[in-house]
Amino acid sequence: MSRWLGRNPAQEAVTEDVAPTAVVLGGGTNGLSLVRSLAQAGIRPVVVVDTKVDIASTSRYARRAVVSGFEGEGFVTELLRLRAEMPHGGVLFFADDRPLLTVSRYRDSVAPWFSFELPSHQLLADLTLKERFFRLAQDGGFPVPATHLVRSRGDLSVLQGLRLPLCVKPNGRSPAYDASFQKAYRVETLADARALCERVLDVVGEVIVQEWIEGPNDSIYFCLCYVGPGAPVCFTGRKGRSFPPQTGWTASCWAAPEVAEELEHLTIRFFRSVGLTNGFASMEYRRDVRDGSFRFVEPTVGRTDLQVELSAVCGINLCHIAYCDAARQPRPALNLDPTHVWRDEFRDFLAARMLGTDCSYPPKHRIHNAYWRWDDPAPALLEVAQTAKNLLHRAAARVLKTGAISASGTNRAG
């Protein structure tokens, strides 16, 4: 059962009365970046639809709605019930793969009531799964590392033909994988790769193995795109650090205009080659230090990435452009200002410690924290509280485990 949880008294609704409501499906850092990007353009409040109250829905620019789940017809029914409270319609933005795939699957039921831009469901599914994406890229002659999908222990013989080190990661994200493994792994030996693949196979039944693209932590780039009725709009950035380093989520990033022309051309050419003509689409790259070339790491299609707010603060507000297209409003003027940094302040600090460096950024850049803002403090406070709670749970679990081992040892001794 969906329910509104009320409005923050500090909210200031500046969107025109006749404008459609911006609706963000999913929360977390992705959802918060979306909310703040839209708020920067004067679109507020933004309705955040999630299964719980989290950092995105606590923003002063958000109005929250809680649903019982993101899967199946039940979610569609709840979403349409929320639509009844939006007299001028709603524009959907996706911050999470679960509502994205559900809306895509039931798009014929949702489309009469909400505006959204998505490629075909088959293409969306193909680009969500890494093996299908790499096959499409290889078939089109695009720069990707040698990649194999392993579905059984018998398939592990393909490891012998790959150049070390290797990257091991899921074919598609799932709760079962996320509960037991990291986003990706760098593996130095065939023995370690085989052991890790066997563990993943036991849990989720398939795993991607590919040759590692050599480069330092700051050799990761991304090209964020929105493809709509007008010309495609792109923003190119570079990761300063990831957490964990090399294989994790974006911890800090900034604009990379020096490679924008090359990466934007390559990104748009790939998506056009597979038939993507509308919606959000982005590509992550790694620059190979062995030859200086850029290679595809993975795409994100249909939803935004968590660093999308960087495009907004740098003057290329992709979320605002998408909203204007859906609302049939003129697109905003674009004026790139590359002197901004977006950072996950907690994870960037940890990543720098792990790398043995400080949190350095390009000079004369303004820093925008993912959570803490003086004018919007609630998301940071909730993030700190949740982190503290998780640390306490882990500490308690270790204490209980140690106590159980000690008790077991005492019983044996007796």
For residue 407, the model assigns a pLDDT of 54
Q: What is the CATH number of the domain that holds 349?
A: 3.30.470.20
Per-residue burial over 334-350, b if 16 or more Cβ lie within 10 Å, else e, is eeeebebbbbbbbbbbb
Token couple for 398 = 């270790």
For residue 409, the model assigns a pLDDT of 57
Q: What's the rounded Cα separation, in Å, for the pair 393 and 122?
A: 41
Stretch 156-175: mean pLDDT: 92
Residue % of the chain over a pLDDT of 90: 82
Instruction: Check pLDDT > 80 for residue 402.
Output: no
Instruction: Check pLDDT > 90 for residue 392.
Output: no
Instruction: Check pLDDT > 80 for residue 47.
Output: yes
Stretch 45-66: mean pLDDT: 96
Stretch 157-184: mean pLDDT: 91
Instruction: Check pLDDT > 60 for residue 39.
Output: yes
Residue 402 counted as domain residue? no
Question: With bands split at pLDDT 50, 70 and 90, how would you rate the model's confidence at 230?
Answer: confident
Residue among 47, 36, 122 nearest 79 (CA): 47
Enumerate helices (H) and strands (E) in the chain, giving the number of each. 13, 17
Query: Which stretches within 46-189 are classed as H helix?
Result: 72-83, 97-105, 107-110, 121-128, 130-139, 175-180
* HSE toward the beta carbon, residue 256, CA cutoff 13 A: 23
Stretch 224-237: mean pLDDT: 94
Instruction: Check pLDDT > 90 for residue 11.
Output: no
Q: What's the rounded Cα separation, in Å, for the pair 59 and 30?
A: 13
Q: Do residue 184 and residue 234 come from a single domain? A: no
Question: With bands split at pLDDT 50, 70 and 90, how would you rate the model's confidence at 16?
Answer: very low
Q: Do residue 64 and residue 170 come from a single domain? A: no
Instruction: Check pLDDT > 70 for residue 414.
Output: no
Residues with Cβ within 8 Å of residue 146, at least 6 apart in sequence: 161, 162, 163, 210, 211
Domain range for 167 is 146-211
Residue 408 counted as domain residue? no
Q: Do residue 193 and residue 242 come from a single domain? A: no
Mean residue pLDDT across the chain: 91
For residue 403, the model assigns a pLDDT of 60
Helix (H) or strand (E) holding 350: helix 345-355
Residue 25 counted as domain residue? yes
**Which range among 63-72, 126-135, 322-331, 403-412 shows the weakest confidence by mean pLDDT?**
403-412
Q: Do residue 271 and residue 300 come from a single domain? A: yes
Torsion of CA 339, 44, 54, 224, to 10 degrees: -40
Total domain count, the chain: 3
Instruction: Check pLDDT > 60 for residue 309.
Output: yes
Question: With bands split at pLDDT 50, 70 and 90, how would you rate the model's confidence at 395?
Answer: low
- Give the count of beta carbons closer than 10 Å to the beta carbon of residue 133: 23
**Which range among 94-103, 242-251, 252-261 shows the weakest confidence by mean pLDDT?**
242-251
Q: Count the helix, strand and coil residues of the chain and give each as a percent rounded to the nearest 5.
A: 40, 20, 35
Instruction: Check pLDDT > 90 for residue 24.
Output: yes
Q: What is the CATH number of the domain that holds 91?
A: 3.40.50
For residue 18, the model assigns a pLDDT of 80
Stretch 138-156: mean pLDDT: 94
Stretch 13-25: mean pLDDT: 76
